[in-house]
Amino acid sequence: MMVTLSRPGRRSLLIGAAAAGVAVTTARMATAKPPGAAEGPWTVELFTSQGCSSCPPADAYLGLLAKRPDIVALSFHVDYWDYIGWKDSFATRATTDRQRAYARVLKQRYVYTPEMVVDGIGHDTGRERAGIERLLAEAQRRSPRRATPELSRSHSGALTVKLAAFPLDGTPADVALAIYDRRHSTPVDSGENRGRMLDNFNIVRRLEVLSRWDGAAASWTVEDAGLQPGLGAAVIVQRADHGPVIGCNKLEPMVSG
């Protein structure tokens, strides 16, 4: 099926429009890896805060993971540390709600930062990289066949997402679109990280569910994706209500000029 989406037809989870004030340039047609790729990719979602002194090493690690073609690495900034002296400008309550939903599904006693959720099946701080690699290996073992979406960007900036038919065995999946900033450096003048310059990578600025998917071949076109230079797109296909991820892909940001 082919569905063209405008904003009222989608279920918005967070974050509003991505960073404003970036000039739009003409985009060439760019297509991500097609469906059925055996080598992934796999998701790593980092829940972080600029107000948390334990987070910068995990932020740096996510920046390394973001360079890997087999990883869709996304940074979600939570708001529950804003009260301790520094308000994270990227943080939203909806991001915190996403982390709390994972905590419920993964049967955690509490939420914490930094936390990396790998493919929706497990979590770790990311301080010891071996822990994340173990979770990635477990994700590959659990889900060797992937519902990998195909992403393409038109000259007008619209984003098209295509999924081939995939056996869901009666359990639906959510198809979620994330628009992210590639990198930001922020000088912090108060709170636990006072005096530091913090680097954050693949910061999610907009996340919304395009559809609840029944596994039939489908296509969605997002006319207002807003993929300006420096902004990338990722699509996560996961069992409904924050279950395991069964497919994902990314469209890397364009560089202006």
Residue with tokens 């489908």: 218
* pLDDT of 36 strictly over 60: no
* pLDDT of 230 strictly over 80: yes
CA count, 13 A, side-chain hemisphere, 106 = 22
* pLDDT of 160 strictly over 60: yes
Predicted pLDDT of residue 144: 87
Least reliable range by pLDDT among 126-130, 137-141, 172-176:
126-130
Predicted pLDDT of residue 60: 97
Nearest one of 161, 143, 145 to 153, comparing CA atoms: 161
- Whether residue 75 contacts residue 198, with contact meaning beta carbons closer than 8 Å, is answered with no
Angstrom distance (rounded) from CA 50 to CA 79: 10
What is the token pair recorded at 241?
Answer: 């209500």
Angstrom distance (rounded) from CA 175 to CA 207: 11
Query: Percent of the chain, pLDDT > 90?
Result: 75
* pLDDT of 37 strictly over 70: no
Helices and strands (H, E) in the chain, number of each type: 3, 14
Higher-pLDDT residue of 6 and 155 is 155
Angstrom distance (rounded) from CA 9 to CA 21: 26
Residue 136 backbone dihedrals phi, psi, to 5 degrees: -65, -40
Q: Label residue 4 by pLDDT band (50, 70, 90).
A: very low
* pLDDT of 17 strictly over 60: no
Average pLDDT on 194-220 reads 97
Nearest one of 9, 13, 76 to 208, comparing CA atoms: 13
- DSSP E strands in the chain: the ranges are 2-5, 11-14, 30-31, 42-48, 71-77, 115-118, 122-124, 150-153, 159-163, 173-187, 197-213, 218-222, 231-239, 245-251
Predicted pLDDT of residue 27: 28
What is the token pair recorded at 207?
Answer: 């996340």
* pLDDT of 7 strictly over 90: no
Average pLDDT on 187-208 reads 96
* pLDDT of 18 strictly over 50: no
Average pLDDT on 127-154 reads 94
- pTM value is 0.86
State the DSSP code for 110. S
Higher-pLDDT residue of 211 and 224 is 211
* pLDDT of 87 strictly over 80: yes
Angstrom distance (rounded) from CA 68 to CA 58: 16
